[in-house]
Structure 1
Amino acid sequence: MAQAEAFEFGVEQGQMLQVLMRHCQTMKRQETRLRVATALLLATLLATFVWIQQLNTKEAFSGARPEALKTTDSPRSHSVHLEPLRQMDPCSEQQPIEWLEVSDGYNSENFKLENRTVLHVSSKGLYIINLRISYRTAYNLCEPDTVSTLVVNVTQHHRNYPRERELVSATETMICRDCLSQSITVNRAVGLEAGTILRVRINQNSCKFVNWVKNSHLDVTFL
């Protein structure tokens, strides 16, 4: 009798275990299906959102006037381009370089060149100064293999300043050799007051080496 009851109990446990396994398998299948359905739903919602955005963009462009779709050009910067007028004669420490304004399509309304040596700035703001002075040695200009010092200064003066101030300065050395070319290039962003005047000077000893007719210029741009 006890063996029969134990056998029946074992059968019942086996049946219950099978039912539990089938239930777990069913739950796993349902969970997988739920995940797939959720992913499909999210993908559908995302695709719908993208489609609506594209549709709104097309409608916005189709309703806009042709001139409104054109890219608006940024305001043209005011710039001045100066080139040396002639050789400084005599070379003097106190005499600034004389310049000639070259248009080249520049909008230079913000600048005025006075006495060929003084550049007036009419607006307060940020400016880019681009200066290049080219040098060239030639026969009998200097003793071979001697070293010369090249100095370039850009100064500013304003009614609020008690004296002229150095704005940009550069110093280099050059060895004296026949037909040797060299240049000093300075680029700097500076803040200037309205009514500021600018001058460019070089040291007296380097004046004879300046290549006045080629690759020397002063560009000032108002941003």
Structure 2
Amino acid sequence: MGQKLRGHTQPAEAACRGSMIDIGRDESVLILIKHCQDMKQQETRLRLITLLLLLTCMAMLIYTTSAGLRQHEESGSHGQGSAVEQGAAHPRQERLCPEDNQTPVRIHLRPPSPTNKTKMSDGQYLEWDVDFGERNYDEETHAIVIPAPGIYFVYLRITLSCHGEKTPNFELFTLQLYCLNEGYPKRRLLTDAMDGLECTQDRSKSVFVGQLFELVEGDYLKVLMKKGYKLMKTASFGAYLV
């Protein structure tokens, strides 16, 4: 009897062990499934957080860009307004302020009137009367005085005429423009001009000399009539700072 009982108990124990193994496997599967679900949920949360961060960054970037553009437009409009105001105020200042050293250097000379004209001949410096720019002309030396260093355009125009005289010879005309300075007593030739007329009939022509020169303060510009003074009808001499 005892042997039979032992024979019957062995299958029962084996069945219990199998069921316990099956139960353990099911729990492992359930745990794994739950773990996968948790991982997916975490991944979804991370994606949502990343998306929110990207949207926030984009919004901040758009706001910063639009604010910068708005500020630039406002500063540009203010700058234009101030420039217009300065441009409008500048002429008023020029009208109200007296002539000073910042006034552009311009001088224009013409031959002296007959009452002021002295007897001249070839080989002398030409005398002048001032049309404008009197402060830049020295009557004693008959010269244009350069008040400040810079690039100046110096011009000289002479009209030649036979004055009704008829001669078979060709009358030569020559003049020279010189520069002198108290620091450099030796005169310096800047330019010259040569022309002439054949006075077989009443004729006239113009001679023009114009050139840019770099001059310094205290330079004196003078015109020397080398030959042909009797041919000169009218003349003009001037300079201005470029």
Q: Could you say whether these structures have the same fold, taking a TM-score greater than 0.5 normalized by the shorter chain as the test?
A: yes
1:143 is aligned, of 167, 178, 188, to 167
Using the TM superposition, give the Cα deviation of residue 76 of structure 1 relative to its aligned residue in structure 2, in angstroms.
Answer: 5.3
RMSD, aligned CA: 3.2
Which residue of the partner structure matches residue 131 of structure 2?
A: 102
Normalising by the residue count of structure 2, what TM-score does the alignment of the two structures yield?
0.57
1:165 aligns with 2:180: no
Which residue of the partner structure matches residue 81 of structure 1?
A: 108
Matches within 5 A, 1:35-46: none
Which residue of the partner structure matches residue 192 of structure 1?
A: 215
Using the TM superposition, give the Cα deviation of residue 162 of structure 1 relative to its aligned residue in structure 2, in angstroms.
Answer: 4.2
Look up the SS of the partner of 2:77 in the other structure: helix
Q: Which runs of 5 or more structure 1 residues have no equivalent in the other structure?
A: 1-51
Which residue of the partner structure matches residue 93 of structure 1?
A: 122
Q: What amino acid sits opposite 1:147 in the alignment?
A: F
Rounded to whole Å, the distance in 1 between the matches of 2:200 and 2:71 is 71
Rounded to whole Å, the distance in 2 between the matches of 1:135 and 1:197 is 26
Where is the helix percentage greater, Structure 1 or Structure 2?
2
Rounded to whole Å, the distance in 1 between the matches of 2:238 and 2:82 is 35
Rounded to whole Å, the distance in 1 between the matches of 2:238 and 2:68 is 48
Q: Check the 8 A contact 2:123/2:225 in 1, yes or no.
A: no
Normalising by the residue count of structure 1, what TM-score does the alignment of the two structures yield?
0.61
Q: Check the 8 A contact 2:122/2:229 in 1, yes or no.
A: no
* Count of matched residue pairs: 163
1:182 aligns with 2:205: yes
Matches within 5 A, 1:1-223: 58-64=73-79, 66-69=81-84, 72=87, 77-86=104-113, 90-103=119-132, 111-115=136-140, 117-140=142-165, 142-144=166-168, 146-204=169-227, 206-212=228-234, 216-223=235-242
Task: Pick the structure with greater CA Rg.
Answer: 2
Rounded to whole Å, the distance in 2 between the matches of 1:94 and 1:56 is 71
Using the TM superposition, give the Cα deviation of residue 136 of structure 1 relative to its aligned residue in structure 2, in angstroms.
Answer: 0.9
Q: What amino acid sits opposite 1:77 in the alignment?
A: P
User: Cα distance 1:177–1:102, how it changes in 2: closer, same or farther (>3 A)?
Assistant: same
Rounded to whole Å, the distance in 2 between the matches of 1:164 and 1:147 is 30
User: Cα distance 1:143–1:66, how it changes in 2: closer, same or farther (>3 A)?
Assistant: same
Rounded to whole Å, the distance in 2 between the matches of 1:217 and 1:201 is 14
